[in-house]
Amino acid sequence: MTRRSVVRRGTVLLWVARHALAIALALMFLGPLVFIALTALMSDRQALTSDLWPHTWNWGNFAEIFEKAPLLTWIRNTLLYSVLATAFMLVSSIPVAYALARFRFRGRRLAFLLVITTMMLPPQVVAVPIYLIWARFHLTGTLWPLILPMLLGDAFSIFLLRQFLVTIPREYSDAAKVDGCGEFRTLVRVILPMARPAIAAVALFQFFYCWNDYYGPLLYAGTDLDSWTLSLGLAAFRSVHRVQWNLTMAATLLAMAPVIIVFFFAQKVFIEGVKLTGVK
Amino acid sequence: MAGTALSRPNPLSRGNLRALLYLSPWLAGFAIFFVYPLVSTVYFSFQRYDLFTLEPVGLLNWEYFLKDQAAWTAIRNTLWLVVVMVPLRVLFGLGVAQLVTRLKAGAGVYRTIFYLPALVPLVAGTLGFVFLLNPGTGPVQAILSAVGLPAPDWFGDPAWSKWGLTLLGLWSVGDLMVIFMAALLDVPKQLYEAAAIDGANGWRQFTSITLPVIRPVLMFALVTGVIQTLQYFTQAEVAARVASGATDSAGSVFTPGYPDQSTLTFPQWLFQQGFRDYAMGYACVLALMLFAVAMVFTLILLRQFRGLGEEDV
């Protein structure tokens, strides 16, 4: 056997090994999702057995969960929280990120370091006094304490937008200024269209952060089922409504569905956004 | 721009005022939702407060902390997650990223599949995992016993519950994978070619080229991982709630940590004290402890960003 064919054979073996490993990993990553979907379609009696394939396909489970719990109300609350928080965040955070990326001013470095600090510190650190502020305004028991602060900027979004905005060459905004655009018009007319991928990424991250949020609603939504979100309802689904696993998994699937669907359409936005969060 | 550069010494220059205007939403937010609450937390840590009566108690809350067994259990559990789960996630994420960057065919499809679980809502993912690992119904037990391994009662056994949470953490490693993939693709190809000519094998190439180049990214992942784990709440809370089968109808109270306080994390205990037992003064002591530890790691992170904020000026 020549040396060359040994090398060749080695690469083929390596290729096979890599793909075998990748397929095994893919099964492990997808397995839980497939299992949730299959259980969601089982009868409640089968869900208690270790049989994996549904004996009968109970599509009615998806209708039944809406009768067992106020799911529509929870979905509406979750949408209200996610949409408003995202809109408020964009309006307040874009100018801040722009100023941090582009303006020269005293304390610019300090401001950026403080943004990172507030982004990193656990929300539980300042939870008690903030809760007391909202209690004073009689807004505990609602989701407003989670929505309204977004009018004052979100550290993570500011950080991520700033990381993107510094990569836009200065020549573009300089050219706009030569054409007589003021700073604000330059931002709206020139920078924002160029920053569309980053804006899409922070909007999606914010939307799904709210959609998935459990800690915030647990703290503020209170005990009234009508002000709950989907995450909150889902966590209590099995215990409060004493339902079987099949229905719990059907509700679980319902909570995941929007995220997974949007991901398949906007995959690139997500991936590019995650890359921006890493330090270079 | 040249104008603003010239007038730099003047704090009230047009450039500074304009920056102030653009920054004003965040500055207000920083004052109302960070500075004020932080000062206030220190104040409340010397008070007894249950939403109705406020009473100064000196160092009582701080003394209680030293005797609070559950707080120390929560600290131990959180430390376990920091020491075991965070490095495992980084190693696994790096391994998966290495694999995907080397696949020539189908890399995009694999990346999509591996990233997907990172997007699954925490509550939904946790519910799925508790059921998946549940002996009797989940397939994991069947697979383990098929290959002759003992199948633990993951979320029902104090010795295994944190490992169950670790598995959940490894499953949602996708965000780390994406960050590592970007870093790995940034390593100059010529370095590997030169090393291959010098006869360096795969492992040598990894330790002497890949690791040094991606070291800052690895550090970043470790430090942010630690800070995220210091706020570990949802997965532990939901797993305990579902596995214990607690019926939290009105009147009965859910206690986190099932089984046997093995999943009780520090933020959960803080939440329990402040917002379920309304010992808000004591919760502020716990909050300041969390602040101190998180701040240490945040400062490490800020050192990495030291150069940032200066470029492109």
| Residues A48 and A168 placed together within one structural domain of the fold | no
Nearest to A153 among B20, B29, B231 (CB): B29
- CB atoms < 10 A from the CB of A167, how many? 13
C-beta atoms of A158 and B26 within 8 A: yes
Q: Is the pTM of this model over 0.95?
A: no
Q: Dig out the tokens for B116 from the structure.
A: 């997907």
| Average pLDDT over all residues of chain A | 89
Q: What percent of chain B has pLDDT over 70?
A: 91
CA triplet B296, B118, B203: central angle to 5 degrees?
75
Q: Is the pLDDT of residue B250 over 50?
A: no
Q: CA A117, CA A119: separation in Å to the nearest integer?
A: 5
| Residues A87 and A136 placed together within one structural domain of the fold | yes
Residues 201-220 of B with CB under 8 A from A: 216-217, 220
Task: Give per-residue pLDDT as tens, A95-113.
Answer: 999 999 988 888 888 999 9
A87-91, B32-36, B217-221: least confident range: B217-221
Residue of B nearest to A53 (CA): B139
> Is B275 an 8 Å CB contact of chain A?
yes
**Domain boundaries of chain B, sorted by first residue:** 2-44, 69-313
Q: CA A48, CA B307: separation in Å to the nearest integer?
A: 57
CA triplet B264, B266, B268: central angle to 5 degrees?
60
Q: Is the pLDDT of residue B251 over 70?
A: no
Task: Determine whether domain B69-313 maps to CATH 3.40.718.10.
Answer: no
Q: Where are the alpha helices (DSSP H) in chain B?
A: 2-6, 14-30, 36-44, 60-67, 69-80, 86-102, 107-115, 122-132, 139-146, 161-171, 174-186, 189-197, 202-205, 211-230, 234-244, 266-271, 280-304
* Minimal C-alpha gap between A196 and chain B (Å): 20
The count of domains in chain A is 2
Give the H/E segment covering residue A86. helix A71-102
| Residues A159 and A266 placed together within one structural domain of the fold | yes
Which residues in B lie closer than 8 A to residue A117 (C-beta atoms)?
298, 302
C-beta atoms of B117 and A263 within 8 A: no
Q: CA B143, CA B132: separation in Å to the nearest integer?
A: 11
Nearest to A126 among B37, B131, B248 (CB): B37
| Residues A96 and A9 placed together within one structural domain of the fold | no
pLDDT for B229 equals 96
pLDDT for A4 equals 61
Residue of A nearest to B32 (CA): A130
Domain CATH for A166: 1.10.3720.10
Task: Give per-residue pLDDT as tens, A34-57.
Answer: 989 998 898 887 877 777 788 888
Task: Give per-residue pLDDT as tens, A153-208.
Answer: 999 999 999 989 998 888 888 888 888 888 888 888 889 999 999 999 999 999 99
pLDDT for B3 equals 43
Range of the domain at A268: 69-277
Task: Give per-residue pLDDT as tens, B234-249.
Answer: 999 999 988 887 555 4
Mean of pLDDT values over B89-94: 96
Residues 18-57 of B with CB under 8 A from A: 18-20, 22-23, 25-26, 28-30, 32-34, 36-38, 40-41, 44, 51
Instruction: Using alpha carbons, list the distances in angstroms from residue B259 to A231, A242, B154, B173, B244.
Output: 22, 20, 10, 25, 7
ipTM for the complex? 0.89
* Minimal C-alpha gap between A235 and chain B (Å): 6
| Residues A15 and A98 placed together within one structural domain of the fold | no
